[in-house]
């Protein structure tokens, strides 16, 4: 176990997993704990958050699991208040909730567009709204928002609305980074590329004939020749949350095996 984040309080939204295996949020929560942080693992599905918490407890680290719908303003205010009452502060805010939907404006109904936009952006807005004031007061904090390479290029999947939502996360990250830099609050984003996580089997698999075709096709897209995994994203998040990144803010970091370099 490391000590890069010893005695830090990490609030991780989207810390559960959509299926068996390691999601980006679950891996990030465990990685923060392994570096000494006290973790608050939040997910819409409390059972999934508890599964993450059990992994962390099993390794002898401190964690609490809570449920939260990131699109619910009242619940977001309340859950941040719960964390502040329990821990006194938040040092690391990790916004991981995301959702994709195939199709564009013609295929996707307006209410579904609003839901997609809310899931990808409202949680970032609401978490920052309630966490940033305390970070500013203490003169310290790190926010990590999870975006996607879909925000900077179309790629092979018909998901322009998801790309637009994640582009909004990038813009919010940069704008907030400049505004809060004088308060020593650093705000960065990570753009995962073609990753092997449980979510792809729910949201991407329909674009392929079968699972084998999906895996082979996704590996082939990456210049390095293979998909990344949740730990690649988690390790980047730990770095951005740590003092090693004390002079880094406003960065939208690709974790993608070189994929962004090939996108037009």
Is 162 part of the annotated catalytic residue set?
yes
Number of domains in the chain: 1
In a domain, 193, yes or no: yes
In a domain, 213, yes or no: no
In a domain, 216, yes or no: no
Residue 191's SS3 state is: strand
Residue in this structure with the two tokens 């095996």, named with its chain if needed: 257
In a domain, 129, yes or no: yes
Q: What is the CATH number of the domain that holds 130?
A: 3.40.50.720
In a domain, 70, yes or no: yes
pLDDT of residue 57: 98
Query: Nearest Cα to 149, choosing from 14, 252, 22?
Result: 252
Query: Which range marks the domain in which residue 25 is found?
Result: 9-198+230-252
Question: Could you report the per-residue pLDDT of 224-245, keeping only the tens digit for each?
Answer: 999 999 999 999 999 999 999 9
Contacts of 222 (CB under 8 A, 6+ apart): 193, 194, 228, 256, 257, 258, 259
- Catalytic residue, chosen from 32, 125, 157, 162, is 162
Query: Exposed, middle or buried: residue 73 (CB in 10 Å: 0-12, 13-18, 19+)?
Result: middle
In a domain, 221, yes or no: no
- Mean pLDDT in each 10-residue stretch from start to end of the chain (264 residues)? 94 88 93 98 96 97 97 97 98 92 88 92 97 98 96 79 94 98 98 82 55 78 91 98 98 95 83
Contacts of 4 (CB under 8 A, 6+ apart): 35, 36, 238, 242, 243, 244
In a domain, 106, yes or no: yes
Question: Could you report the per-residue pLDDT of 149-188, keeping only the tens digit for each?
Answer: 999 986 777 788 999 999 999 999 999 999 999 999 999 9
In a domain, 210, yes or no: no
pLDDT of residue 216: 81
DSSP structure class, residue 77: H
């Amino acid at each position: 176990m490391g000590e890069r984040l010893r005695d830090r309080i990490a609030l991780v939204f989207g810390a559960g997993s959509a299926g068996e295996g390691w999601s980006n949020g679950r891996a990030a929560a465990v990685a923060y704990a392994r570096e000494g942080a006290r973790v608050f693992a939040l997910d819409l599905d409390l059972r999934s958050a508890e599964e993450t918490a059990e992994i962390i407890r099993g390794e002898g680290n401190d964690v609490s699991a809570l449920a939260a719908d990131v699109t619910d303003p009242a619940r977001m205010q309340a859950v941040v208040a719960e964390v502040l009452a329990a821990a006194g502060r938040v040092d690391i805010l990790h916004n991981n909730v995301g959702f994709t939907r195939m199709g564009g404006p013609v295929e996707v109904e307006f209410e579904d567009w609003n839901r997609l936009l809310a899931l990808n952006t409202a949680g970032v807005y609401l978490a920052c709204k309630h966490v940033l004031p305390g970070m500013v007061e203490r003169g310290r904090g790190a926010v990590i928002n999870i975006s996607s390479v879909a925000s900077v290029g179309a790629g092979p999947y018909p998901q322009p609305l998801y790309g637009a939502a994640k582009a909004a996360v990038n813009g919010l990250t940069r704008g907030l980074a400049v505004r809060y830099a004088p308060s020593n609050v650093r705000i960065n984003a990570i753009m995962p590329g073609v990753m092997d996580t449980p979510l792809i089997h729910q949201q991407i698999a329909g674009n392929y004939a079968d699972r084998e075709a999906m895996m082979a096709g996704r590996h082939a897209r990456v210049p390095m020749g293979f998909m990344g995994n949740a730990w690649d994203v988690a390790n980047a998040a730990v770095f951005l949350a740590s003092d090693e990144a004390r002079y880094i803010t406003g960065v939208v970091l690709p974790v993608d095996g070189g994929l962004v370099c090939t996108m037009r």
